[in-house]
Amino acid sequence: MRLTLGRVRRMSPAALAMLLLSVAGCGTSQYHPVRGQVMFDDGTPLPQGTVILFKQDGDKMVQAQGMIQSDGSFELGVNVPKEGAPVGKYRALINPGDMSDLDAKVRTGFDKRYTEFDTSGLEFEVKPGKNEFPIRLTRRARR
């Protein structure tokens, strides 16, 4: 199954809660801190949104996410904010949220390819210990 931002958004709250609980396992996973900053290639931060990491390890799925702060920084968690994520390789997407209130340079520069796991090109590996994932976004090409 291809998991996209649209599919995550369409999940009912109960289904999303079940997904999150099922990926959490029995508490045997060890979580490692994951933080970073989302910036455009010119150094401008993406001042809002959510970073979502997804890993499918056999039949087990893990999703970690974190809110993007005004300076572009984020910290990820699986079950609760900022708790970290289990070791493994992840694909990532960025949900920029409602961009209507943002500066035109940020709004028009955000490339929608970052909103899907299959097109974002964002891949990370969580390792034991602290993990720092700077995310650099290439601005959408002008037409």
pLDDT at residue number 99: 80
The answer to whether residue 82 sits within a structural domain is yes
Nearest to 92 by CA among 57, 119, 127: 119
The whole domain housing 73 covers 5-130
pTM of the entire structure? 0.76
Name the domain count of the chain: 1
The answer to whether residue 120 sits within a structural domain is yes
37-91 tens-digit pLDDT = 999 999 999 999 999 999 987 778 999 999 999 999 999 999 999 999 999 999 9
Pick from 7-11, 79-83, 107-111, 138-142 the range whose average pLDDT is largest: 79-83
The answer to whether residue 122 sits within a structural domain is yes
The two tokens of residue 131 are: 């993990």
